[in-house]
Chain A
Amino acid sequence: MDTVIGIKTRLMREYYRYFSKYAKGKVPEEPVAWVTAFTPVEILKALGISYYYPESYAAVIAASEKEQEYIKESEKRNLSRDCCSYSCCFNGSLLLEEGPRGVPPKPDVLIATNNQCNTLPAWWNTLADEYDVPLIVLDYPGESCDRAEAASYVKKQHEMLTEAMEKLSGRRLDEEELLRLVNNSERSVEAWNLLISNLKTKDISPTTLFDDINFLITARCNEDTAKLYDMMDKECGTLEDADPLSIPVFWLGYPLWYHADRYLKELMDGLRITGSNYITWWSLDYSGEDVYEKLFNAYNYTFLNLLQKSRDKRLHKLIEDSGAKGAIVLHNKSCKCDFVSARNVGLPQAELDTDMIDREYLNLEKAKLQIELLKETICRG
Chain B
Amino acid sequence: MKILSMSGFIPEHISDTIRFTQYGGDRNISNYCGYASDFISRVMADDTIDGAVYPKSCDSTRILTSYLSECNKFLFQFGIPPYNVSGAKEHLACEIKAYKEAVEAHYGVRIDDIKERAEFINKRNEALRKTYEELDSLSYSDYMEKLHEMLEKPLAMQEWSGDIRKREKTGKRVYVVGSFLSDTRLAKIIEDASLTVAGDDLPESGRLVYSEPVETEGDIYLNIAGSILSMRPSPTQVSFKKTMDHDFESIRKKDVRGIIFLTQKYCEPYDYLYSVFSKEADKAGIPAVQIKVNGTEDTGKAALALEAFADMI
Contacts and interface: CB of A to CB of B under 8 A. Distances in A.
Interface of A: 74, 77-80, 82-84, 87, 112, 114, 117-119, 121-126, 128-129, 135, 137-139, 141-142, 144-146, 149, 152-153, 156-157, 159-160, 307-308, 331, 333, 335-337, 339-340, 343, 353
Interface stretch (B91-99, B169-177, B183-191): B91-99
A126 B275 contact: yes
Nearest to B31: A333
Contacts of A119: 59, 268, 272
A342 to B, nearest CB: 11
A124 to B, nearest CB: 8
B65 A307 contact: yes
A82 B31 contact: yes
Contact of A340 (B31, B63, B77): B63
Interface stretch (B132-140, B196-204, B238-246, B299-307): B238-246
Interface residues of B, number: 48
B268 A82 contact: yes
B120 interface: no
B86 interface: yes
Given A145-B79, A336-B62, A339-B29, A153 B91 contact: yes
Nearest to B87: A156
Contacts of B265: 82
B272 A117 contact: no
Contacts of B62: 117-118, 336-337
A337 B272 contact: no
Given A122-B238, A122-B273, A336 B79 contact: no
> 10 smallest A-B Cβ distances: which pairs?
A340-B66, A336-B59, A121-B238, A122-B272, A125-B240, A156-B87, A160-B86, A79-B275, A137-B82, A308-B66
A144 B56 contact: yes
B58 interface: yes
Interface of B: 29-32, 56-60, 62-63, 65-67, 69, 77, 79, 81-83, 85-88, 90-91, 94-95, 98, 235-236, 238-241, 265-266, 268-269, 271-276, 278-279, 290
A128 B59 contact: no
A149 B239 contact: no
A359 B264 CA distance: 25
Given A139-B81, A157-B86, A123 B272 contact: yes
B79 A141 contact: yes
A145 B240 CA distance: 26
B69 A308 contact: yes
Given A84-B268, A126-B276, A137 B65 contact: no
A160 B175 CA distance: 37
Query: Interface on chain A toward B: helix, strand, loop, or mixed SS?
Result: mixed
Contact of A121 (B77, B82, B87): B82
A134 to B, nearest CB: 10
Given A118-B57, A156-B87, A160-B86, A339 B63 contact: yes
Contacts of A353: 30
A124 B241 CA distance: 12
B94 A149 contact: yes
Contacts of B266: 82
A77 B65 contact: no
B238 A125 contact: yes
Contacts of A138: 85
Contact of B95 (A112, A145, A343): A145
Contacts of A78: 274-275, 278-279, 290
B236 A118 contact: yes
A125 B239 contact: yes
A126 B272 contact: yes
A209 B98 CA distance: 42
A167 to B, nearest CB: 15
B271 to A, nearest CB: 4
Contacts of A84: 268
Contact of A337 (B63, B81, B91): B63
Contact of A79 (B83, B95, B235, B271): B271
Nearest to B62: A337
Contacts of A118: 56-59, 62, 236, 238, 268-269
Nearest to B278: A78
Residue of A77, A137, A160, A333 with highest tally of chain B CB at under 10 A: A137
Given A114-B82, A119-B268, A129 B87 contact: no
A329 to B, nearest CB: 13
A345 B37 CA distance: 22
A123 B275 CA distance: 10
Give the one of B57, B79, B265, B279 with max A CB within 10 A. B79
7 contacts: A82-B31, A125-B240, A128-B241, A135-B239, A333-B30, A336-B32, A336-B59
A84 B276 CA distance: 16
Contacts of A308: 65-66, 69
Contact of B268 (A74, A83, A343): A83
Contacts of B77: 144
Contacts of A339: 29, 32, 63
Contact of B85 (A77, A82, A157): A157
Contacts of B278: 78
Given A82-B31, A83-B271, A128 B240 contact: yes
Given A117-B59, A331-B31, A337-B59, 8 more contacts: A78-B279, A117-B62, A122-B238, A122-B269, A122-B272, A125-B241, A139-B88, A145-B98
Contacts of A121: 82, 238
A125 B85 CA distance: 15
A129 B238 contact: no
Nearest to A332: B31
Given A117-B59, A118-B236, A129 B268 contact: no
A112 B95 CA distance: 23
Contact of A129 (B83, B94, B241): B241
A192 to B, nearest CB: 26
Contact of A153 (B63, B87, B271): B87
A129 B271 contact: no
A152 B98 CA distance: 16
Contacts of B57: 118
A141 B94 CA distance: 12
A336 B79 CA distance: 17
